Amino acid sequence: MRVLNVAEKPSVAKAVANILSRNQGLRMREGRSRYNKLFEFNYSIRGQHCQMVVTSVTGHLMELEFEDRFRKWHSCDPAHLYHAPVRKFVPEDKLDIKRTLEEEARKCQWLVLWLDCDREGENIAFEVLEVCTQANRHLDAWRARFSALIDREIHESVQNLVRPNHLFADAVDARQEIDLRIGASFTRFQTMLLRDAFVIDIAADDRNLVLSYGPCQFPTLGFVVERYWEVQSHEPEEFWTINCSHKSDEGTATFNWMRGHLFDYTCAVIIYEMCVQEPTATVTKVRQQEKRKYPPHPLNTIELEKRASRYFHMSSEHTMKVAEDLYQAGFISYPRTETDYFSERTDLHGIVREQLGHPIWGSYAQLLLDPEAGLWRNPSNGGHDDKAHPPIHPTKFSAGESQWSQDHHRLYELVVRHFLACISQPAVGAETTVEIDIAGESFSSSGRVIIAKNYLDVYRFESWGGSMIPTYVFGQQFIPTTLTLDSGVTRPPPLLSEADLLNCMDKAGIGTDATMHDHIKKLLDRFYATKDANTRFSPTNLGEALVMGYDDMGYELWKPYLRSMMECDMKAVSLGTKRKNEVLTTCLEQMKACFLDARSNKGKLLEAMALFFERSNRSTGDEQQEVGDVVRLCNLCQESNMVLRRKPDGNFMVGCLGYPQCRNVVWLPGSISEAAVTTISCNYCTPGPVYKIQLKFRQLEIPPNYNVDHLGCVGACDEILRQLTEICGTGSRICSSVPDQQEGEDQMHLPPMRNEAVVGKLLAFTVAKEGILQMIALHWFCALGIHSLIEQICEVGEGGDSSVSCNTCGTPCVLRTANTENNRGRKFYSCQSQECNFFVWEDSLNSSSGGRSAEPASASSSASNPSRRDGRGRGGRGRGGRGSGSGRAGQSRGRTATDATFVSATGDPVSGRRCFVCGDPSHFANVCPNRGM
Query: SS3 string of 574-623?
Result: HHCCCCHHHHHHHHHHHHHHHHHHHHHCHHHHHHHHHCCCCECCCCCCCH
CB 569 within 8 A of CB 586: yes
Distance of CA 628 to the CA centre of its chain: 19
- How far is it, in rounded angstroms, from Cα 626 to Cα 629? 10
Q: Which residues contact 610 (CB under 8 A, 6 or more apart)?
A: 198
285: β partners: 435
Instruction: Tell which residue, 884, 931, 309, 188, has the closest CA to residue 602.
Output: 188
Task: Answer whether the bond into residue 689 is a cis peptide, omega within 30°.
Answer: yes
State the burial class of residue 527 (Cβ atoms within 10 Å of its Cβ: 0-12, 13-18, 19+): middle
- How far is it, in rounded angstroms, from Cα 290 to Cα 172? 49
DSSP character for 120? H
Q: Respond yes or no: is residue 327 known to be catalytic.
A: no
- Please, what is the angle between helix 301-312 and helix 316-328, to 10°? 120
Find the distance separating the first CA and the last CA of the chain, reported in whole Å: 123
Task: Name the catalytic one among 43, 213, 272, 334.
Answer: 334
- How far is it, in rounded angstroms, from Cα 187 to Cα 212? 5
CB 326 within 8 A of CB 381: no
Strands (E), 725-821: 813-817
CB 298 within 8 A of CB 393: yes
Hey, what's the torsion of the CAs at 212, 213, 217, 222, to 10 degrees? 110
DSSP character for 366? H
DSSP string, 772-792: ---STTHHHHHHHT-HHHHHH
CB 85 within 8 A of CB 201: no
Distance of CA 736 to the CA centre of its chain: 45
Pairing state between β 48-56 and 2-7? parallel
- Report in angstroms the alpha-carbon separations of 60 from 11, 57, 146, 387: 15, 8, 19, 21
CA angle 456, 461, 465 (to 5 degrees): 60
Return the active site residues: 334
